[in-house]
Structure 1
């Protein structure tokens, strides 16, 4: 973590620690994702769960279609604990697929069709997929599957599941919820299993950086195969907010993104750093209607961060950092104006139910440098998710 001076707002007050030294848990760490979603659907059945252009699906509709899909998966041979592929791109139907797979007691593996065919085949092979859910418009470029189940049309009633096909309910918060793949910068992309508890930690464990609430619109801009889509999708669906799906062209044009934010009531956006930088360079005021915006995935430019802070005085701007292995986010820095000569934006403090240990690099017997960074960072951060997401080193 860089040692950079900057006046910052405190991210949170440390929670009371039990005698063991493990952070106190104040989130539903023993709940599974589908259980928390079902609670939201029961509480606000007619509220919009997601929008894409002129199409909208309510919580009740999404819940019913996911139940129907779970029953079809079970009838097709899916069993609790199986990994199920999702072939296609972000859409309303993709949400049905994710919720339905979890309701079937399985875990999902996004196979976003924006990825090259060779990478999709490698992902399916490495995950050992036998069954996949096919989204509308998918070209089904994954071969060798035993079964492919299609998502039903959302403009028709979901219907009741056939007798004897009710999805199984037993399970644990430590069960795998999804499999994401590392970026592959050090070789072949590797599958990483993330638990239900890891996702719940991501969405609900940080009391100071409060999650979305009913009435919020959460931008969905990441591809399904990006682990960062996790905080968008479940950040909305586990809190009663509405997920607003962006098309590619809206992410490439700050003016189009601003129209999407204005017309669909987007108030929360978790942006890639590249999109954040693009908007900051050309039209930083496009983010002024947001109450919360974050960037992550790459180092944030302090000058561009200052541009957004100046143009959006009522917006909380956050720098997120974390590896795939620790369920997307491990540290968060709430920004205030940085010094003009700042070379870095700080990574911040531990996010939610995580702790961070900064390990100073050492020199091995052969003279090699162990544990230090080659990116101007003093040492490496080791993130340990006490919520059960797994531990990662970056």
Structure 2
């Protein structure tokens, strides 16, 4: 309807207009050769065009591969080749970063006269259909593409909407790079609820946006824990949004001292959730609400979220008693399909649960 889906320095886009833009892009992707089940690259900075590209890719029945324009060209070429991506959504400013054999669909300009466009009839994805592929950092070797199915993403979005209490009057900041799966936590619970996604200019920093009071109406922030540590322990005071009600942290251990500094600045008015989960389990797997008691010791990563199972096991796969160190196993609806084109690596990490239901 007329509700605002996206708010950015370029203006506001209603849900109706966003759907229209996504439908139009789906037709262009189909004309460029993208078919259901294919992987379509998205080489764009975060912003309205990127959100349109994700939804348009899904409307065409395909899955998307985020390609960060800040990445070195060798890494982009590797990801395009590794994922067998042949069609990429980009803009005129970044099209030169693409390998020559790839078909570029440019946003921000009208379709070429040679594009033979016919509307695409969207087909509801099945649970096992791929939604997106996010690449690991490659810090332990070659980057691997994690194939996330729609069913796993839907299970996570369903929990986030209820677990975080997302409502239609929320304004949620989209600050994560699209190459990190946190973007899914920011974007999809928001749009699935009819809330407003706030998209700052890609070239501005969060402290700049906050200092200029451009984010005063934001109600939900989702930040990497190390970055949050920097902000709360900075000698320069940060002006947090007046409307902020929820802060979600993730990607590292929360320091008790940083939590104490945050509570001195903000008090109890903002709910703080510590989240944990590898990309292989679709964004998050456990959460803990943090309070005053967590400033005194190591803040926990919490308990499993809905339709998720966790178990700490010894080297032989046997569950260990509470308080005994071991390896964390995660099961349930958020487990992804493994590593794209790497059955050996997948088999080594995605193992059957001997203590859970069959399958």
Q: TM-score, normalised by structure 1?
A: 0.76
Structure-to-structure mapping, 1:255-270, within 5 angstroms: 256=210, 259-262=213-216, 265-270=217-222
From 103, 107, 132, the counterpart of 2:63: 107
1:324 to 279, 301, 319: 279
Q: 1:339, CA displacement in angstroms? A: 5.4
1:385 aligns with 2:347: no
Q: Name the SS of the counterpart of 2:6 in structure 1.
A: strand
Query: In structure 1, what is the Cα distance between the partners aligned to 2:167 and 2:294?
Result: 33
Root-mean-square deviation (CA, aligned residues, Å) is: 3.0
Could you tell me whether the CA contact under 8 Å between 2:41 and 2:85 is conserved in 1?
Answer: yes
Change in Cα spacing, 1:54 to 1:325, as seen in structure 2 (3 Å) is same
Secondary structure at the aligned position of 1:51 is classed as strand
**Which moved further from structure 2: 90-99 or 279-288?**
279-288
1:276 and 2:276 are equivalent in the alignment: no
Which residue does the alignment assign to 1:174?
A: 128
Shift of 1:280: 1.3
Distance in 1 separating the partners of 2:191 and 2:295: 39
Confirm or deny that 1:293 pairs with 2:240.
Answer: no
> Cα gap change, 1:133/1:127 in structure 2, threshold over 3 Å: closer, same or farther?
same
Q: Distance between the aligned counterparts of 1:207 and 1:56, measured in 2?
A: 23
Q: CA deviation at 1:85?
A: 0.4
How big is the shift at 1:151? 2.0
Determine the C-alpha separation between the residues in 1 that align with 2:193 and 2:294. Answer: 36
Corresponding position: 1:186 with 2:140: yes
Inter-partner Cα distance in structure 1 for 2:161 and 2:120: 36
- Asked whether the equivalents of residues 95 and 104 of structure 2 are also in contact (C-alpha less than 8 Å), the reply is no
Unpaired segments ≥5 residues, structure 1: 1-44, 364-369
User: Which secondary structure state, in structure 2, belongs to the residue aligned with residue 204 of structure 1?
Assistant: helix
Q: Deviations over 1:241-281 (max 9, x none)?
A: 1111134564352773672321xx11011111122112211
Q: Which piece of structure 1 moves more, 324-333 or 353-362?
A: 353-362
Asked if the contact 2:59/2:120 (under 8 Å) is kept, the reply is no
- Could you tell me which residue of structure 2 aligns to residue 302 of structure 1? 256
> Could you say if the C-alpha distance between residues 274 and 139 of structure 1 is closer, same or farther in structure 2, counting changes exceeding 3 Å?
farther
Residues 204 and 211 of structure 1 are in contact (CA less than 8 Å); yes or no, is this contact kept in structure 2? Answer: no
Aligned to 2:353: none
- Unaligned runs of at least 5 residues, structure 2: 339-348, 351-359
Q: After TM superposition, give the deviation of residue 183 of structure 1 in Å.
A: 1.6
Tell me how far 1:379 sits from its aligned partner: 1.9
Distance 1:383 1:139, change over 3 A: same
The structure, 1 or 2, with the larger RCO (C-alpha pairs under 8 Å, 6+ apart) is 1
What's the TM-score once normalised by structure 2's chain length?
0.83
Tell me the distance in 1 between the aligned counterparts of 2:270 and 2:287. Answer: 15
**1:321 Cα deviation after fit:** 0.6
Alignment of 1:198-347 (within 5 A): 198-205=152-159, 209-247=163-201, 250-251=204-205, 253=207, 256=210, 259-262=213-216, 265-282=217-234, 283=237, 286=240, 289-312=243-266, 313-338=268-293, 341-342=296-297, 344-347=298-301
Q: Distance in 2 between matches of 1:357 and 1:258?
A: 45
Q: Deviations over 1:205-251 (max 9, x none)?
A: 25752342111111111111111111111121111111111345643
Q: Which of 76, 87, 95 is 1:120 aligned to?
A: 76
Aligned residue in 2 for 1:32: none
* Partner residue, 1:23: none
1:359 equivalent in alignment to 2:313: yes
DSSP 3-state at the match of 2:240: helix
Provide the rounded CA distance (Å) in 1 between the counterparts of 2:30 and 2:262: 48
Q: May I ask how many residue pairs the two structures share in their alignment?
A: 333
Q: 1:258 to 1:187 in 2, by over 3 A?
A: farther
Residues 173-232 of structure 1: CA distance to partner in whole angstroms, max 9, x if unpaired?
220000001121211110011011222122212575234211111111111111111111
Shift of 1:53: 1.7
| Per-residue CA distance 1:124-155 (angstroms, 9 max, x = gap) | 111111111113532431204342112245xx
